[in-house]
Chains A and B, each alone.
Chain A
Amino acid sequence: MKILVAIKRVIDFKTSVRVKADETDVETANVKMSMNPFDEIAVEEAIRFKEQEKANEIVVVSIGPEQCQEVLRTALAMGADRGILVKTAHTLQPLIVAKILRAIVQQENPRLILMGKQAIDSDNNQTGQMLAGLLNWPQGTFASKVACDNTSVTVTREIDGGLETLALTLPAVITTDLRLNEPRYISLPNIVQAKRKPIQMVSIEEFNVDLSPRLKILKVKPPEKRRSGIKVATVTELVDKLKHEAQVLS
Chain B
Amino acid sequence: MKTLLIAEHNNQELKSVTLHALTAAKTFNSSIDIIVIGWQCDAVIQQATQLSGIQQVLAAQTEEYTHQLPENCAPLIADIVKEHNYSVVMATASTFSKNLLPRVAALLDVTLISDVTAILSPDTFVRPIYAGNALATVQDLDTIKILTIRNTAFPAALLVHQSPAAPIVNIDKNFSNDLSHFIKQELTQSTRPELTSAKIIISGGRGLKSAENFKLLESLADKLHAAVGASRAAVDAGFAPNDYQVGQTGKVVAPDLYIAIGISGAIQHLAGMKDSKVIVAINNDPEAPIFQIADYGLVGDLFKILPELETVLSK
Contacts and interface: CB of A to CB of B under 8 A. Distances in A.
Interface of A: 11, 13-14, 16-17, 19, 26, 93-95, 98, 117-118, 120-134, 136-142, 144, 154, 157-169, 172, 177-179, 213-223, 226, 228-236, 238-239, 241-242, 246, 248-249
B248 A120 contact: yes
Interface string B70-102: 110010000000000000000000111011111
Given A159-B96, A221-B134, A222-B133, A123 B115 contact: yes
Given A160-B95, A236-B312, A241-B296, A166 B183 contact: yes
Given A162-B186, A167-B181, A142 B134 contact: no
B180 A133 contact: no
Contacts, number: 249
Nearest to B309: A235
A121 B267 CA distance: 13
Interface string B257-298: 100000000011000001001111000001000011111111
Contacts of A162: 185-188, 241, 243
A144 B130 contact: no
B211 interface: no
Contacts of B74: 133
Contacts of A133: 70, 74, 102-107
Given A124-B114, A231-B291, A165 B184 contact: yes
A128 B224 CA distance: 40
Contacts of A164: 182, 184-186
B180 A138 contact: yes
Contact of B224 (A215, A216, A249): A249
Given A125-B102, A125-B114, A160-B243, 15 more contacts: A16-B133, A16-B267, A94-B102, A126-B105, A133-B70, A158-B242, A172-B179, A222-B135, A234-B298, A235-B312, A238-B309, A241-B296, A242-B296, A246-B277, A246-B296
B295 A246 contact: yes
B12 interface: no
Per CB-CB distance, the 4 closest pairs between chain A and chain B, nearest first, are A129-B102, A133-B106, A229-B295, A138-B179
26 contacts: A95-B105, A95-B106, A123-B129, A131-B106, A133-B74, A133-B104, A138-B179, A139-B99, A139-B180, A140-B180, A141-B99, A142-B98, A160-B95, A163-B186, A165-B183, A178-B236, A214-B110, A214-B141, A217-B136, A219-B137, A221-B134, A226-B274, A229-B279, A230-B297, A231-B291, A242-B257
Given A129-B102, A220-B136, A248 B112 contact: no
B50 interface: no
A231 B299 contact: yes
A162 B267 CA distance: 24
